[in-house]
Every structure is written in C-alpha cells, then in structure tokens.
Amino acid sequence: YSFQRPFVEAYVLVPGWNDWSAKPDAFFDPVDGMIQVEKLFLPRRVVFPEFACIDAKPVGSSGFVSYGEKAVDRSAYWWMKEPFYSSLCSFSTDGFERDVLQIYQSCDCSAAKGRGRWTIHDLGVNLTGFVRLEVSCRGPVRLMAVFDEVLIADDIDLKRNKTLNLVYYELQPGEYVLESIEPYTFRYLKLIEIDGVAEVKTIGIREYANPEASRATFECSDPDLVKLFEAGRQTFRQNAVDIYMDCPGRERAGWLCDSFFTGRAEAMLCEGSTVEFNFLENYQLPESFNGIPAGMLPMCYPSEHPNGRYIPQWAMWLVLELEEYLERTVDRELIDRFALKVFALLDYLQRFENADGLLEKLPSWNFIEWSKANELTEDVNYPTNMLYARMLEAVARLYGREALAEKATRIHQTVREQSFNGTFFVDNSIRGEDGKLHASGESTEVCQYYAFFCGTASLVSFPELWSILLNHFGPNRDLNGTYGFVHPANAFIGYYLRMDLLSHEGESVRLLEELKGYFLPMAEATGTLWEHNDTRASCNHGFASFICVLLARHAATS
C-alpha cells in the first residue's frame, strides 16, 4: 500500500463469507487458537469513534473498462521496486496468480467499450474510515475500489502520494456487504468493474474519527473563516483517534513536532488533552529505544528504526511540547516521569557542541521544514541552534535548572553574531579547510521565523527585519521582488510559525487575511488541510488543525 503500510487488501469471496459476524447460528469451521502470554494493557482513556456511515455520490464521470494482461511496471512507484518490494509482500501464492498492481495497470479506463464499467463517486469532503460497498452480482465479478483525496486531470492518480489506494475483490454470484479492514483517507472513490456486472447499492465510508472534536462551536460573520475552521476540525478529528498522527492515510504514524501543534488544537476543540497524554506516554514508557543512539528520542513512535534514522530537531520539539502540555493540564507527574529522558537527550546533544557552544554536524536526518531550508543543514545550522536554545530554556523552567537558561542566552547571542548579515539571518555556516566557520550566505524565509519564534530575535531587537517580514512576505509575497533571494517557506512548518508570530504580536487583521490566502484553497478542494502548499503528498495533516486555535483567538464571535 505504501512505504509505511506494506499490505494492499485483496479478497476472493463467496456469498455468506461474513455470516459469522451477522448470524448467531452461522456455521463455520473451527480452528485451533494459540495461547498468548499475558500482556499488560494501558487504559484506553479516549472515547470510541461513532463509526458513522456516509454515502458517496456519483460525480457524473463514468466509462467502459477493457482488460488485457500487461507486464507489471513498478517504475513509477519507487518503494515497490525490486528487491525492496519483494521483501515486503507478494500476491503470487495462495491462489493469487496475478499481482494487484498488474491488474490495475491492465485496466484501460479510456476504452470505447469493454466488459466492465467504471464510475467516480464523491464524499464531498476528505474523510477517513473503512471503504464500504454493497453490491449484488449475477455472475462472477472482479471489482476494484480505487480512491484518493483529490482528482488529477479529473481522475485518480495512484502515483500522487506514493500509495496504492485501492481494495480489490473477486466475487462469485450473490449479495455482498463489503468493508475494508483498514481505514483509509479519501474524498473520491472510483469503482472499476474489471469484468462482469455488479449492481452497486451503496458506495461510501464508515468513518473512523475522534467524536470529541465536535465539542467546540465557531461563529463568525466571515463564511470563509468558518470554512477554514471546519477544515481544521476535520483535519484534527481524523488524525487524533487514539494518538496524534501525521496523516490518517499514507502513514497513520505518531510524529513529534507535528504533535506540538496538534496538542494546541486538542485543548481547544476537545476541552482536554487526553489524546496528547496517550501520545506522550508512548514516548515516556520505554526504558530505551532500539535502533537509535542512547539518549536520542525517536522521531516517530510507535515505529521501528532499523536504519538508525532519527530527527534530532524533533526531540527538541518534544521538550517544547512538554512545557505547553504542563501549562494546559498541570500534569506535573508526567513531566517528572520524563526527566531522565530529557536530561539524557541533553547529554547526547552536548557531544555535538563546538567551541562556540553551538551544535555542529548533527547526525542522521536534520529537518527544518519542507523547503530549501532542509538543504542548508550542513555543519552549523542556525535554526537548529535557535531551537536548541529555546529547548534549554524550557528545560530550565520545567526542572529548575537556571544554568541551562544562562547557556541558552549565550547560544542566542552567538547565533545573532554569526548568522545575522545585517538584513536577514543566514541558515548555516560551513567549516572550511582553514578550520573556521564561513557563512553560507543562503537565507530562507523559515529561518527568520525560527529566529522570532525561538527568541533569538524580537520586535525590539530586530524591528527592521520584522517590518520586512510583515510587509513583504506571506501568501502574496513577490518571489521575483526585492527579497526574492530569500527562499520561500512551505506549509510545514513555516506557514504555521508565521501565523503563530502574527497571533503573538496581535496582528489580527493581517493574520485572518493570510489564513485565507494560505489555506482557503485547501479547504475548498478537500475540506481538510495539507502537508505541503500543494497536493504532492498528504492533503490531511494533523498539525494543520492548529489554525482552529488561531481562528478561535482572533475571529470567533464572543
């Protein structure tokens, strides 16, 4: 299905296959079970989803399908290339003689006529849950439910988000109520009758979402802002069923940094932080994490790290989240339980401090944001050190370590001396053959936001820079204008840092206009908010629900 979720669902069914779930007297062949060792279960805490069923409506697009065997082509799916793909799974055994990707690629949906038909259906908004089909078959039928969050050229393109968004069925004559066993995310569903004819009674989804996100109500005289709030709410409710997830489709994974922003949204939408506690507890409970260096925290958990990859910046964001979590909940117990891990993290990071006291040559995956900034992390990265200083300040406040606050002050000052070129902060410095650091000269938009967000800069100390950011940047910035050399920010996380700064400085009117500039096209296209400023990846990313907090703070009718 994806790099993160290996298995595509494919079924060969006969009528009555699910009688065991619907008829108390249904016969089935017993099988021997396996006795498992006793396990310690954590309390659930969060409420169950409501599992509402929502039907999709046809959009008017339909046509014929012809089918012819083709050699499977994985070239468009990098994560399915040999030998990586063969190490994941294969459908060549247990009666499946064809690969599901080959079946899909062998369908010609542009045929003038064929043995089957295809239709596209629309839920009206991006939703997450289990694909539902009710069909009646007079003869054998092969069906494929193909789905995605957006249409590309009025059709579904499975290469868009590095996923195989499909569920496959081979059905004998009879009546069927079908549901996928895994939850998926989509607005549009294309039903392909590869051969045979099926009478389709229902096409839709059984939702898998957090019902508590409906607690908050939002009223505003501007309908566009109401639309944005609902897009943020939809994004949250689908990404916070039991822990915080980055996206509910391709990965369904619990990533740090994303969680910093999602935590703010839960407290406002749900009047509590129950899901955040579950998310944080996962990081607190293990004594150690296999596959990454001692002291470092996983970038994503629960997960595996067989290649030892981690994001050092994401561990810093965790500490920032802990401080805000304490402010939201007064849960001192969890903070104290994190102490050993927090100080082990500091010990690990300290190994990379250079003679100036700045982190240099941090290993693994250095992540600033999805922009040019991620290419400017070599040697001394200044956004990372800005974040490091703010993290040290947070640890000082959480655990009463004043010396760490003093250290943070020195880091802020050193960054100002090395990074600021008189107009902008530059992103990094490279260690030359002469043993000295040399500024790269490259500046990114997000680097400037890190400076103000982390406290390296302020309106008092850098008024000219703030004025430039305020008046020349944002959703309408001129990339060919005076400051075109400053590489633009992306949605994750530059847009959100900018919005947070505008909110903090009381720029309400500008903030609300920029929210519409950045996010209204997303809300109108999918009803959810995206990972990037385009549709190249997930169009439903949990961190983006933070805009609900901004709207409630600056636009809600009191």
CA–CA separation, 272 and 274 (whole Å): 6
**DSSP symbol at 338:** T
Strands 166-171 and 107-111: unpaired
- Please answer whether residues 144 and 167 qualify as being in contact, where contact means their C-beta atoms are separated by less than 8 angstroms: yes
State both tokens at 225: 């802002």
3-state secondary structure of 142: strand
Tell me the pLDDT of the chain averaged across its residues: 93
CA 124 – CA 186 distance, rounded (Å): 10
For 202, the token pair is: 């229902």
The rounded distance, in Å, linking the Cα atoms of 7 and 163 is: 11
CA–CA distance, 233 with 237 (Å, rounded to integer): 6
Backbone angles phi, psi at 490, to 5 degrees: -120, 175
Cis peptide before 488 (omega within 30 of 0): no
Distance CA 467, CA 470 (A): 5
User: What are the tokens at 327?
Assistant: 């402010």
The confidence score (pLDDT) of residue 259 equals: 98
- CA distances 27 to 15, 111, 316, Å, are 13, 43, 56
Running DSSP on this structure, what letter comes out for residue 414? Answer: H
**Helix H or strand E encompassing 174:** strand 174-179
User: Measured between alpha carbons, how far is 295 from 318 in angstroms, rounded to an integer?
Assistant: 13
> 13-21: which pairs have CB atoms within 8 A and are 24 or more residues apart?
13/169, 13/170, 13/171, 13/172, 13/176, 13/178, 14/171, 14/172, 14/174, 15/172, 15/173, 15/174, 15/175, 15/176, 16/174, 18/177
For 70-85, the DSSP string reads: -----TT-GGGSTTHH
Q: Phi/psi of residue 515, each to 5°?
A: -60, -45
- One DSSP character per residue, 237-289 reads HHH-SSS--S-TTTT---BTTHHHHHHHHHHHHSSS-HHHHHHHHHHHS-S--
The reported pLDDT for the residue numbered 83 is: 53
Each residue's pLDDT, cut to its tens digit, for the chain (558 residues) gives 887 887 889 999 999 998 888 888 988 788 899 999 999 899 999 999 999 999 999 998 999 999 888 877 777 776 666 555 554 444 444 445 567 888 888 899 988 888 889 999 999 999 999 999 999 999 999 999 999 999 999 999 988 988 899 999 999 999 999 999 999 999 999 999 998 889 999 999 999 999 999 989 999 999 999 999 999 999 999 999 999 999 999 999 999 999 999 999 999 999 999 999 999 999 999 999 999 999 999 999 998 777 899 999 999 999 999 999 999 999 999 999 999 999 999 999 999 999 999 999 999 999 999 999 999 999 999 999 999 999 999 999 999 999 999 999 999 999 999 999 999 999 999 999 999 999 999 999 999 999 999 999 999 999 999 999 999 999 999 998 999 999 999 999 999 999 999 999 999 999 999 999 999 999 999 999 999 999 999 999 999 999 999 999 999 765
pLDDT at 3: 78
Structure tokens at 103: 């079946």
Contact call for residues 418 and 356 (beta carbons, < 8 A): yes
pLDDT tens column, 484-508: 999 999 999 999 999 999 999 999 9
Return the ∠ at Cα 454 (arms to 451 and 460), rounded to 5°: 65
The pLDDT value recorded for residue 143 is 95
CA distances from 228 to 354, 371, 469, 517, 518 (A): 45, 24, 24, 11, 10
Task: Note if the bond before 192 is cis, omega within 30 degrees.
Answer: no
pLDDT for res 93: 44
